[in-house]
Amino acid sequence: MVSDPELGSPEEAVEAIKDCIFYDLRMGAIDLHARDDVFEPARSGGFLLNGGRMYVDAVGSHLEYATAETVTLKDLIANDRAGQRMIVQAIKHLGFEGQIQVFNNSVDHFGGHTFGCHENYLVKMEDDFYTGRVQLLVPFLVTRQIYAGVGRVGGHRLGSFGSIPRYEDVAQNPVDYIWVSNMYSVAPDLSVPFQLSQRADHILKVLAGRVRFNRALINPKWEQYYAHDEMQRLHVLFGESNQNEFAYALKVGATHLALRLLEDGLIDETHLLADPLGALREISRDQSYQWKVQLLDGSASSAVEVQQRVLDLAQRYRGSNADTDWTLDAWQSTLDQLVKDPMALADKLDWVKKRQIVESYMAEEDIGWEDDALHSVDLMYHNINPDESLFYAVQDMGETTRVATELDVVEAMTDPPSQTRAKGRSELIRRIMAGGKDARIYGVDWSAVLIGRHEVHEFPDPYETYSETQHST
């Protein structure tokens, strides 16, 4: 959001921030080549010294940050927050603090747009993974919002345009209409005051490859960049931008264990949902917090019971490592408290803390749920600037549960995770940035780095550091 028109449009602001990160602050090496002629042309972003990637997505012209590959929850949280701090540092360096605000959220309350916080997991997949087995994961993904949801004021109703887009619309916004097979209109829904998920109202499919206007839980992908040893990237679209580190870590930790169960063939059809997408919205909108669901076999259950069954199965992995044990303990204590009193989890879950903040504002201003000012309060919870954010205000007061320390975050701005290929990639980026004859031509991707015309470094295994890799020709 740009508050001063003299600074230009939001699109110009994100370009300025991106350029500042790479050219002024020298936090990474900008792409010299186009990764995608439409969505990521040359110099639209690049890889960072901390192993992550920062770029401007041509669809909507917004900043996106992809964390480095990580194997621990603390590294993930620190690397994620480090990306936010880079953006804040760039805004300050440009002298735009207080005039440009960047938000880590997943819905445009007034425009009706939604954007995800995507998750990527390396999963062993057979050929029938997307046609069969992945359906066993859907009940878990639908119900995990009871602890992973970030909360939102109000809702949206989706409708059909009833016709294909006009030629004028396509001509003015060509990128928006690439690979679109389903279009919908969006209108405010005043029937719901507050819900768990920012995105539940917008999800149209369980799986979809064309996701610009076909929002889905999962986006199937088969890519060599993210494949290794019969493993493939599982791209989860139905994620949201958790501010609270506990909720973030629990979401990823629990999903990791659910995927281990799926790989080991230990999840059965017991909790398949009769209507997954209907349940997604009903759970999000349930003001009673009972979160009832109907199963495919016709019986009744609840989101907590679905999660509890997956958790019980995952107990077999206890002792694997510290993150697994932390996840199992945090998962159980959270489910127990959700049954007793969800509002007691304000220090751990975003949707609970946000609701408390919103209701406190309503009481102070003597307004109701219909007041548009609440959407601004909702949005300010997700401001990434610690000096402006409502979330960081409560974190500074010690009212949240942290997983990473502030020192971890600061170090993660320049240091990559030490146990993945991000480390070797970072070393080569540092060498590229140091200059030299050979470094004038380079190309960087997740699994390979090219320096000069003949030096190639390949990183096929995400779990190998490739530190001090010898080049091959």
Residues labelled as active-site residues: 57
Contact 407, 451 (CB under 8 A): no
Contacts of residue 21, defined as CB under 8 A and 6 or more positions apart, other chains included, come to: 27, 28, 48, 54, 86, 87, 90
In the structure encoding, which two tokens stand for residue 364, read together?
């102070």
Output the CA–CA distances (angstroms, integers) from residue 34 to 41, 113, 187, 355, in the order listed: 4, 27, 37, 43
- Distance between CA 329 and CA 311 in Å, rounded? 10
**What single-letter DSSP state applies at residue 413?**
T
In the structure encoding, which two tokens stand for residue 19, read together?
């350029």
Where do the DSSP E strands lie in 396-447? Answer: 442-445
Neighbours of 432 (CB within 10 A): 23
Closest CA to 91 of 21, 9, 12: 21
Q: Which helix (H) or strand (E) holds 306?
A: helix 303-314
In three-state secondary structure terms, 106 is coil
Contact 69, 8 (CB under 8 A): no
Contact 198, 151 (CB under 8 A): yes
Contacts of residue 317, defined as CB under 8 A and 6 or more positions apart, other chains included, come to: 257, 260, 324, 328
For helices 322-340 and 245-263, give the axis angle rounded to 10 degrees.
110
Residue entry with tokens 């401007």: 56
In three-state secondary structure terms, 317 is helix
Rg (CA), the chain: 22
Contact 207, 218 (CB under 8 A): yes
